[in-house]
Amino acid sequence: PHFIIYLPKSQENICFNIDSEPGKILNLVSDPESGVSVNGQLIGAKKPQKGKLHTYFGTLGFYIRSEDTKIEITTETITLSRGSHTSILSWFDTAHVAYQRVLVSVKKEKTVTVTLNKELSFSVLLHRVWKKHPINVDFLGIYIPPTSKFSPNAHGLIGQFMHEPSVRIFNGRPGRDPKKPEASMEVKGHTLTVTRGLQKDYRTDIVFGTDVPCWFVHNSGKGFIDGHYKDYFVPHLYSFLKRP
Amino acid sequence: SLPGESGEEREDVDQVTLYSYKVQSTITSRMANTIIQSKLVNNSPQPQNVVFDVEIPKGAFISNFSMTIDGTTFTSSIKEKTVGRALYSQARAKGKTAGLVRSKALDMENFQTEVNVLPGAKVQFELHYQEVKWRKLGSYEHRLHLKPGRLAKHLEVDVWIIEPQGLRFLHVPDTFEGHFDGVPVVLKGPQKAHVSFKPTVAQQRKCSNCSETAVDGQLVVMYDVNREEKAGELEVFNGYFVHFFAPDNLEPIPKNILFVIDVSGSMWGVKMKQTVEAMKTILDDLRAEDHFSVVDFNHNIRTWRNDLVSATKTQIADAKRYIEKIQPNGGTNINEALLRAIFILNEANNMGLLDPNSVSLIILVSDGDPTVGELKLSKIQKNVKQNIQDNVSLFSLGIGFDVDYDFLKRLSNENRGIAQRIYGNQDTSSQLKKFYNQVSTPLLRNVQFNYPHTSVTDVTQNSFHNYFGGSEIVVAGKFDPDKLKQIQSIITATSANTELVLETLAQMDDLEEFLSKDKHADPDFTEKLWAYLTINQLLAERSLAPTAATKRRITKTILQMSLEHHIVTPLTSMVIENDAGDERMLADSPPQDHSCCAGALYYGEKVPSNGIPSWANAAPTPVVPMRLAGAPVLESTPPPHVMRVEND
Contact at CB, B498 and A87, closer than 8 angstroms: yes
Q: Any chain B CB within 8 A of the CB of A147?
A: no
How many angstroms separate the CA atoms of A179 and A199, rounded? 16
**Residue B363 pLDDT exceeds 60:** yes
Q: Residue B226: its chain A contacts at CB < 8 A?
A: none
* Cα angle: B451, vertex B457, B462; to 5 degrees: 55
The amino acid at A188: K
Name A42's Cβ contacts closer than 8 Å, sequence gap at least 6: A1, A20, A21, A22, A23, A24, A25, A26, A55, A56, A57, A58
Q: Residue B630: its chain A contacts at CB < 8 A?
A: 211, 213
Lowest mean per-residue pLDDT among B223-232, B250-259, B448-457, B569-578: B569-578
Q: Any chain A CB within 8 A of the CB of B288?
A: no
Q: Residue A216: its chain B contacts at CB < 8 A?
A: 645
Closest in A98, A174, A179 to B615, CB measured:
A98
Q: Considering chain B, what is the average pLDDT of its residues?
A: 88
Q: What are the start-end ranges of the E strands in B269-428?
A: 291-297, 301-303, 309-310, 359-366, 392-399, 419-422
Q: Any chain A CB within 8 A of the CB of B560?
A: no
Q: What is the pLDDT of residue B93?
A: 72
Half-sphere CA count of A128, side-chain side, radius 13 A: 8
* B405-413 helix and B377-387 helix, angle to the nearest 10 degrees: 20
**Residue B629 pLDDT exceeds 50:** no
Q: Any chain B CB within 8 A of the CB of A213?
A: yes
How many angstroms separate the CA atoms of B134 and B285, rounded? 24
- Taking CA–CA distances from A124, the nearest residue in chain B reads B621
Tell me the three state secondary structure of residue B532: helix
Scanning A14-43 for CB atoms below 8 A from B yields 15, 17, 19
In tens, the pLDDT along B547-599 reads 999 999 999 999 999 999 998 888 898 898 988 888 888 887 665 555 555 66
Q: Considering chain A, what is the average pLDDT of its residues?
A: 94
Lowest mean per-residue pLDDT among A55-69, B137-151, B274-288, B571-585: B571-585
Q: Residue B228: its chain A contacts at CB < 8 A?
A: 90, 92
* pLDDT < 50: residue spans in chain A: none
Q: What is the pLDDT of residue B111?
A: 85
Chosen for mutation from B289, B615, B643, B646 (greatest number of chain A CBs closer than 10 Å) is B643
Q: Which residues pair with A197 in a beta bridge?
A: A214
**Residue B646 pLDDT exceeds 50:** no
In tens, the pLDDT along A154-174 reads 999 999 999 999 999 999 999
Taking one residue from A and the other from B, the number of pairs with CB-CB distance under 8 angstroms is: 147
- Structural element, H or E, at residue B147: none
Contact at CB, B645 and A197, closer than 8 angstroms: yes
| Residues B213-221, mean pLDDT to the nearest whole number | 95
User: ipTM, 2 decimals?
Assistant: 0.87
Q: Of all residues in chain B, what percent carry a pLDDT higher than 90? A: 65
Q: Any chain B CB within 8 A of the CB of A197?
A: yes
| Residues B619-624, mean pLDDT to the nearest whole number | 52
- DSSP state string for B420-479: EEE--STTHHHHHHHHHHHHS-EEEEEEEEE---TTEE-----EEEEEETT--EEEEEEE
What's phi and psi for A103, nearest 5 deg?
-120, 125
Q: What is the pLDDT of residue B610?
A: 78
Q: Any chain B CB within 8 A of the CB of A101?
A: no
Q: What is the pLDDT of residue B12?
A: 44
**Residue B57 pLDDT exceeds 90:** no
Q: Residue A199: its chain B contacts at CB < 8 A?
A: 645, 648
Name B484's Cβ contacts closer than 8 Å, sequence gap at least 6: B453, B455, B456, B508
Residue B70 vs residues B17, B75, B119, B122, B578: alpha-carbon distances, Å: 15, 14, 10, 5, 12
| Range with the largest mean pLDDT of B42-51, B104-113, B319-328, B514-523 | B319-328
Strands B392-399 and B359-366, how do they pair?
parallel
Q: What is the pLDDT of residue A175?
A: 87
Calculate how close chain A gets to B247, using CA atoms only, in Å. Answer: 10
Scanning B486-525 for CB atoms below 8 A from A yields 495-505
Calculate how close chain A gets to B232, using CA atoms only, in Å. Answer: 9
Name A176's Cβ contacts closer than 8 Å, sequence gap at least 6: A182
How many angstroms separate the CA atoms of B170 and B180, rounded? 18
| Residues B350-369, mean pLDDT to the nearest whole number | 93
Calculate how close chain B gets to A92, using CA atoms only, in Å. Answer: 5
In tens, the pLDDT along B398-440 reads 998 888 988 999 999 999 999 998 887 778 899 999 999 999 9
Q: What is the pLDDT of residue B483?
A: 84
Tell me the pLDDT band of B3, cut-offs 50, 70 and 90: very low
Q: How many helices and strands, by DSSP H and E, does chain A display?
A: 1, 17
- Taking CA–CA distances from B618, the nearest residue in chain A reads A118
Tell me the pLDDT band of B102, cut-offs 50, 70 and 90: low
Q: Any chain B CB within 8 A of the CB of A200?
A: yes
Residue B99 vs residues B151, B403, B616: alpha-carbon distances, Å: 24, 25, 55
Tell me the pLDDT band of B624, cut-offs 50, 70 and 90: low
